């Protein structure tokens, strides 16, 4: 299957996530709270744009079954994954309105812009390739952290979310869509899809870096 080929290509990148200090801090509960809050805010507005990608996928779907799957992925993002963010935010006294008003950091802006560009540039297979790395790699991380002997402490809910049966189903749906969309494609077309998945995997690493360093933009904001 095409996704087996993709995994061989991105596995070295994804393994680097597991060694990233932010991810390791999530897994053993030592992550600085301010770093997690920064991730939480940036990932919330990232997910708003991510949800738009599923809407694009639904509009470009080639049949009703595919459209239904994209609709379920959209609902899962808005109602399940973002609910976790709102739950954590409430614990920190951050309102939903404050979450939605967050300004995107440089990496967040660049990453979501790239995904949306790819989604609009080609057929539905481009949209699937653009969303795949995020959902699949988060599940990959969640599975790894859940299998460790570490105590995530306050981040246990995060770990539970990203290896839950519900999120596993979302990941499986994305993988299935990718394999279906790749059927009958030429090697040149598959290379383009592979490049999108690889590039979004690199963006995922940059996102962890952004959270770890609590970075926004490389220069001071204007008044």
Alpha-carbon distance of 22 to 36, in angstroms, equals 8
Alpha-carbon distance of 3 to 182, in angstroms, equals 9
Percent of the chain at pLDDT exceeding 70: 98
Kindly calculate the radius of gyration of the chain based on its CA atoms and give it in whole angstroms.
17
Alpha-carbon distance of 31 to 211, in angstroms, equals 11
Q: How much is the pTM? A: 0.93
Q: Which of 54, 16, 66, 8 is nearest to 203 (CA)?
A: 16
Q: What is the mean pLDDT of the chain?
A: 93
pLDDT, one tens digit per residue, over 129-153 is 999 999 999 999 999 999 998 888 8
pLDDT, one tens digit per residue, over 86-145 is 988 998 898 888 998 999 999 999 999 999 999 999 899 999 999 999 999 999 999 999
Alpha-carbon distance of 85 to 87, in angstroms, equals 5
The arithmetic mean of pLDDT across residues 199-214, rounded, is 97
The arithmetic mean of pLDDT across residues 69-90, rounded, is 89
Q: CA dist 14 to 52, 100, 161, Å? A: 24, 29, 19
State yes or no: pLDDT of 37 exceeds 80.
Answer: yes
State yes or no: pLDDT of 55 exceeds 60.
Answer: yes
pLDDT, one tens digit per residue, over 150-164 is 888 899 999 999 999
State yes or no: pLDDT of 223 exceeds 60.
Answer: no
Cβ neighbours, 10 Å, residue 58: 19
Can you read off the two tokens belonging to residue 207? Answer: 């996102």
Active site residues: 134, 204
pLDDT, one tens digit per residue, over 169-183 is 999 999 999 999 999
Confidence of residue 80 (pLDDT cuts 50, 70, 90): confident
Under 8 Å between Cβ of 34 and 98: no
């Amino acid at each position: 299957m095409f996704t087996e080929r993709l995994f061989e290509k991105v596995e070295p990148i994804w393994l680097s996530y597991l060694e990233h200090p932010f991810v390791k801090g999530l897994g053993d509960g030592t992550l600085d709270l301010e770093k997690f809050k920064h991730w939480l805010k940036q990932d919330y507005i990232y997910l708003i744009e991510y949800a738009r990608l599923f809407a694009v996928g639904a509009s470009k779907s080639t049949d009703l079954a595919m459209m239904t799957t994209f609709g379920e992925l959209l609902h899962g993002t808005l109602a399940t994954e973002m609910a976790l963010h709102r739950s954590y935010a409430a614990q920190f006294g951050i309102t939903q309105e404050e979450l939605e008003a967050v300004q995107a950091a440089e990496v967040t802006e660049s990453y979501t812009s790239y995904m949306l560009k790819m989604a609009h540039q080609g057929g539905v297979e481009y949209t699937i390739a653009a969303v795949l790395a995020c959902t699949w790699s988060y599940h990959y991380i969640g599975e790894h952290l859940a299998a460790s002997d570490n105590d995530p402490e306050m981040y246990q809910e995060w770990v539970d979310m990203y290896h839950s049966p519900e999120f596993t189903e979302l990941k499986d749906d994305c993988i299935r869509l990718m394999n279906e969309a790749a059927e009958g494609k030429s090697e040149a077309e598959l290379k383009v899809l592979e490049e999108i998945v690889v590039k979004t995997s690199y963006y995922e690493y940059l996102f962890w870096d952004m959270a770890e360093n609590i970075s926004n933009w490389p220069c001071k904001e204007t008044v």
